[in-house]
Amino acid sequence: MSKTLIRNASVVFPDRVADANVLIEHGKIVAIDAPESVSAQHVIDARGLVLFPGLIDDQVHFREPGLTHKEDLRTASQACAAGGVTSFLEMPNTKPSATNQTLIEEKYALAAIKSVVNYGFYIGASTSNVQDLKAAVGVPGIKIFIGSSTGDLLVDDQESLERIFAETTLPICAHCEDEKTVNENMSRLPSDRTVADHSRVRDHRAAFIATKRALDLAYRHHHRFHVLHLSTAPEIELVKDHRNLITCELCPHHWYFSVDDYATLGTLIQMNPSIKTKHDTEELWKALVDGVIQVVATDHAPHTLEEKRQPYPASPSGLPAVENYFSLLLDRASRGECSWTQIASWTSDAPARVWGIVGKGRIEVGYDADLVLVDPTLKKTIRNEDQFTKVKWSPWNGVTLTGWPVKTFVGGQVVFEQGQIVSTTCGRRLGFDHARGGFWNTPDGIGV
**299 contacts 251 by C-beta, under 8 angstroms:** yes
**Residues for the chain: how many in total?**
448
Q: Give yes or no for residue 148 having a pLDDT over 80.
A: no
The catalytic residue among 299, 349, 370, 375 is 299
pTM of the model: 0.97
Give the per-residue pLDDT at 36.
76
- Alpha carbon distance 328, 344 (integer Å): 13
pLDDT the model gives residue 37: 80
Using pLDDT thresholds of 50, 70 and 90, give the confidence band for residue 284.
Answer: very high
Question: Domains in the chain, start-ordered, CATH in brackets?
Answer: 4-51+365-376+399-421 (2.30.40.10), 54-354 (3.20.20.140)
Task: Say if residue 448's pLDDT is above 50.
Answer: no
Q: For residue 425, what pLDDT is reported?
A: 82
3-class secondary structure per residue, 157-196: CHHHHHHHHHHCCCCEEEEECCHHHHHHHHHHCCCCCCHH
Chain segment 47-90, per-residue pLDDT in tens = 999 999 999 999 999 999 999 999 999 999 999 999 999 999 99
Nearest Cα neighbor of 53 from 308, 370, 443, 354 is 370
Whether 299 is catalytic is yes
Report the C-alpha gap between 322 and 302 in whole angstroms: 10
**H or E element at residue 333:** helix 325-334
List, for residues 309-335, the tens digit of each pLDDT value. 999 999 999 999 999 999 999 999 999
For 33-85, the DSSP string reads S--TTS--SEEEE-TT-EEEEPEEEEEE---TTT-TTT--HHHHHHHHHHTTE
Q: How does pLDDT run across 243-263, given as a tens digit for each residue?
A: 999 999 999 999 999 999 999
* pLDDT, tens digit, 9 for 90 and up, residues 179-206: 999 999 999 998 899 999 999 999 999 9
Close Cβ partners of 285 (under 8 Å, ≥ 6 residues apart): 250, 255, 337
Helix (H) or strand (E) holding 233: helix 233-239
